[in-house]
Structure 1
């Protein structure tokens, strides 16, 4: 049996497994357990490794078995679990996208409000050419993992005559991005609020994304000149971002909720 915890952040759901249980079979375990019709179901798995010196390291595998550098929402879910199970109100995680510090600022177990330090976003305007679509103006944003952000004024977030889901799938898997990319479609609502949709690499459309929230906010701040403190609203709900300057780390605040604990059959 494989013990697991399931949690979500604005509907973006994850399983949490201890590394010693996974036995390094990350991709296979992720594909099996994340299947929504034949198993537990999730957007991905956070594998938590406890190093001998006490450090904590997270490896994120998407539902399709691919590995990503990190997940802002997934990291927050693990922080909520450690707050619930071990009473930690501050935790530092190592990730392949760099260290992330999470602080619990409100505890209403099983729901936790957590502020995360998300590193310094890097924003670079870029126009890409897609077959059958043409020129797509946007920005490459790195927040520890890759994103392509484009702005839209469409009510349904579509662009270039396509739904955001269809265009997101094409951009995410384009040869222009050899390692794939997450894609966000952003609407500016006011000087301190944006709305966006996410097509997540290795997963598809998701209701929320922590790094997607940061990438969308950073692009809007850097390229559209809106406020440095934003509410960013995805389908799963709002999160808050603060980016004091282009050289500073961005802070992300949002909820994480523990859904359940259980055991999966051995793989």
Structure 2
């Protein structure tokens, strides 16, 4: 049996498993345990590696078994778990997308409000061509993992005659992105507020995304001239971003909640 913790950030849910228990079966465990109707169910698994020197490193595997560089929401879920289980108010978590530091702003166990330093976003305006759709203007954004951000003005976030779910799936798996990409559909609501939808690489539509929040905010700040402090609203709820300048690290603030602890058959 494999002990696990389940947590979510705005509905974006993850299992947390100590690395030694994975026995190098990360992809298999992710496909098995993340299955919604046949197992625990989650968008992905954060494997927590505790180094002998006290440092932490996370490996994120999506529900389809693919490994991603990091998840902003997943990282925050792990920070919440370490606050709940070990009383850590400040923690640095290594990821394949870089070091992420998290600070607990408010704690009302099992819910934690956490501010995370998310690194320096890189935004590049680009128009891509999708078969059957045509030219799709947007921006490639890197926040430790890849994103393609589109701006829309429709209430249902549809674009180019397609639903955001359908177009998101096409873009996410396009050969233009050999390693795949996350896709966000962004509406600017006001100078201080945006709304967006997420098609997540390796998972599909999700209610929230920490890195997606950062990518959407960065693109809106650079290309639409919105405020450098934003409320970004996904289906799972709002998060707060602050990006003081293009060469500064972005700060992301949002909730994370511990759902349960348990054991599961990992065979």
TM-score, length basis structure 1: 1.00
Residues 187-236 of structure 1 deviation map (CA, whole Å, 9 limit, x = unaligned): 00000000000000000000000000000000000011110000000000
| Correspondence for 2:212 | 212
Q: Distance in 1 between matches of 2:106 and 2:266?
A: 36
Q: Distance in 2 between matches of 1:59 and 1:234?
A: 25
Q: Secondary structure at the match of 1:231?
A: strand
Unaligned residue ranges in structure 1 (runs of 5+): none
C-alpha deviation, 1:53, in angstroms = 1.1
Q: Distance in 2 between matches of 1:217 and 1:226?
A: 9
User: Does the C-alpha gap of structure 1 residues 158 and 94 become closer, same or farther in structure 2, counting only changes over 3 Å?
Assistant: same
Q: Distance in 2 between matches of 1:155 and 1:49?
A: 42
1:150-229 correspondence to structure 2 within 5 Å: 150-229=150-229
Work out the number of aligned pairs and report it: 267
Unaligned residue ranges in structure 2 (runs of 5+): none
Residues 23-65 of structure 1 deviation map (CA, whole Å, 9 limit, x = unaligned): 1110000000000010000000000000111110000000000
Q: Secondary structure at the match of 2:82?
A: helix
| Correspondence for 2:47 | 47
Residues 102-154 of structure 1 deviation map (CA, whole Å, 9 limit, x = unaligned): 00000000000000000000000000001110000000000000000000000
User: Are the equivalent residues in 1 in contact too, given 2:47–2:60 (CA < 8 A)?
Assistant: yes
Q: Distance in 2 between matches of 1:106 and 1:175?
A: 43
The reply to whether residue 7 of structure 1 matches residue 7 of structure 2 is yes
TM-score, length basis structure 2: 1.00
Q: Distance in 1 between matches of 2:53 and 2:112?
A: 27
Q: Secondary structure at the match of 1:42?
A: coil
| Correspondence for 1:149 | 149
